[in-house]
Every structure is written in structure tokens, then in C-alpha cells.
Amino acid sequence: MKNSEVFEKTCTKEKKCKVPIIIIVAVLLTLCLTATGIFFCYKAESNANSYANYEDAFNNIENEDTEQKKAEALYYAIVSNSSLRKKEKEELSNYIQYFKDNKYIDYNHVFEKLKTFKITWNNPFLLKEGISATYNADNSITFATNEYRQESLTHEIFHCIEKENMPEGYGWFSEGFTSLLNYEYFDKKGDGWSTKANIIRCLCELIDPDILFKVSATGEPNYLIDALNKKGIDGKKIKELFDLCEKYKVVEFDVDANLQEMLTKIASCFVEMYNTIHDTPDYVRNSFYYSILRILEETYDYYDYYYLNKLKVNDSPETKYNKTQDELSTMIEKSLIAHY
Ligand SMILES: [Zn+2]
């Protein structure tokens, strides 16, 4: 009996022992699997957030090609942005080429912008105001409706990437450059700011358009002023032109404003500047004035020359800037025929 009792006890004990071992193994296995899962999830998550800044992302990309590394770092900023939808990420990726092309772009700045950028749709206030999209101070773009419009997105993206520290009084530059860049560099559709875009075209005839990329990327209009100064144009004339352009921008939609008078003054400033630089013969001066005025009043498509797409299509025959005197005369002739 004793033996059998001992046996039973041992057996019961063994039986009792077996159950907890299975449970312990199962629990351990579950814990192990959970821990592994958590670890991998954490790793994936931390990979997605590990690049706090552009340098980090850039240095961790194993690629010999620096340009490609830059593109990939910015691409990373877009894909790791959890506020964007898949389609929005795809759209944003299309702009990476421009960020690579504009050599003045501050990559850290763009990286930070793209990482936290947001797009919201269906804003009744904008719809009521008749505005298709805006760029907001909190690094987001708002669309008036659900309808996707490439030209609006491109325009607002350029505002977003442009340095915000552009001083007051340069709204005309911001809108004009953004608009011309949108038209020439991307879709050639135009976004409704043609007069200001045409002011930028006139500036491109006076100085190297490269300066404009620099001004936009740095928010420093002094580069523009310096470039005009170097061409022999005095500060007073430059200020006069810039003030006129800003005034035009402010009252553009004011029905009581005399926009025509403003445009003639802007055209006169440009003609004077062009004459200072090129010492234009007398017989050209008057017709040149009409030509400039015509350019300012026109839509995007009227003009046959391209300035801001030179980075993208360097060898394209349609890319021209700073026209020769012959080309200028041809343009004036063409313009005069159209004018009268
Ligand atoms: Zn704008």
C-alpha cells in the first residue's frame, strides 16, 4: 500500500508537474513570439523615424551617387510622413527632380517640410472665396474641393519649399516666380497669375535667371538687387520697379484700381533698365516699350521663350534667355504686329 501510495503520489506529482510545464512552455513561447513581434515592429517603426534630419538620412543611404542620395533622402521624408495618403505621396515624389535641379535648395529645410507636410481637402471657406488652394503657415495645403488640380498643387508646393523669410514687399516675386516655374518647369498650363509671371520673364531678360532660383531658395532678395546693381541699374530705379510690382499685386483684384496705369509704369521701368544694360538704339526704344507692355498683359502662351526650365532641359532648343539684339528685334516686330 505504501509503495502504491508512494507510486500514486509520485505519479500524481508527475502528472501535476507536467501540466504547469506545458503551460510554462506555451507561455514562454507566446512571450517569445510577442517579444520578437514587438522587436520587429519597433525596429520597423524606429527605422521609419530614425532619421531625424536630412544629414542622418543622407549619410545612411548606401549609394555612391550623391545626387541620387539626395533624392532618396527627400523621398524618405515623403514616405515616412504619416499625414499623407498614398496618392499624395506619389504626387509629391514628382517634385524631387526640381529639388535636385535647383542647386540653391537647402535640403535640410526641404526635408523638414516634406516630413511634416499635410494636405487637406474640401474647405468651404476657400470655395466661397473662389480660391482653389492655399499654402498655410502650419506647413499644409488646403484645397477648396475634393478635385485634384496639378497646377494648384505645384504652385502651393513651391510656396511651401520657398523660404518663408522673404521680406515684406516681395509678394510679387513669390507669386510670379512660383507661377512661371509652375508653367515652364512642369505642366505648361498656367495657374492664373500670368502678369506676375511675365514680370519675372522681363527680369530674366535683364539678369541671369539663375539668380531668381537663388532668391527663391534662400528668401534673400538682395541677390536680385545686387545682380541688377552690377548691370549698372541704380537702387532708386530698382526700388521704384519693385514697389510698383508689389502695389500691382496688392490691388490686382480691386475693381477700382487703375491696373493699366500701373502696368505702363512697370513697362517704362523695364525699358529704362533694359536700355541701361544694352544701350538700345533710339529707334528700338519706343517699340520696345509696347513690346514689354504687351508681354505683361498677355497670358502665358503668348511668349515663345523659356527661362526657368533651363535646369531641366538644358539642351532643349526652346530654352533661351537673355536674347540677342536680333532676337529682341524679331520679338518686338512680332509684338507690334499683334499690337496694332
Ligand atoms: Zn501663390
pLDDT digits (tens, 9 = 90+) for 281-321: 776 777 778 778 887 887 777 666 677 765 444 444 444 44
Asked whether 150 and 189 are in contact (CB, 8 A), the reply is: yes
Q: How far is the CA of 178 from the centre of ligand 1 (A)?
A: 7
pLDDT of residue 207 exceeding 50: yes
Give the CA angle between residues 229, 102, 167 to the nearest 5°. 50
Question: Is 281 a domain residue?
Answer: yes
**Rounded to the nearest whole angstrom, what is the distance from the C-alpha of residue 219 to the centroid of ligand 1?**
15
| Domain contains 137 | no
Residue 222 resides in a domain: yes
**Higher per-residue confidence, 113 vs 38:** 113
Q: In total, how many domains does the chain have?
A: 1
Residue 197 alpha carbon to ligand 1 centre in Å: 11
Answer yes or no: is 239 within a domain.
Answer: yes
The residue range of the domain holding 186 is 171-340
Dist. CA 191 → ligand 1 center (Å):
9
Question: What is the spatial distance between Cα 336 and Cα 340, in angstroms, rounded to a whole number?
Answer: 6
Q: Which amino acid is at 266?
A: I
Q: Is residue 82 part of a domain?
A: no
Query: From ligand 1's centre to the CA of 73, what distance in Å?
Result: 27
> pLDDT tens, 145-160?
998 888 888 888 888 8
Cα(98) to ligand 1 centroid in Å equals 18
Return d(Cα 269, Cα 246) in angstroms, integer: 14
DSSP state at residue 166: P
Give the SS3 label for residue 69.
Answer: helix
Per cent of the chain over pLDDT 70 is 74
- Assigned domain for 75 exists: no
Which residues place a Cβ less than 5 A from the ion ligand 1?
Answer: 175
Residue 339's alpha-carbon distances to 196, 295, 331, in angstroms, are 20, 10, 12
Instruction: Let me know if residue 63 belongs to a domain.
Output: no
Could you tell me the pLDDT band of residue 19, with boundaries at 50, 70 and 90? Answer: low
Q: Are strands 140-143 and 133-136 parallel, antiparallel or unpaired?
A: antiparallel
CA dihedral sign, ordered 253, 257, 261, 265: negative
Does any domain span residue 152?
no
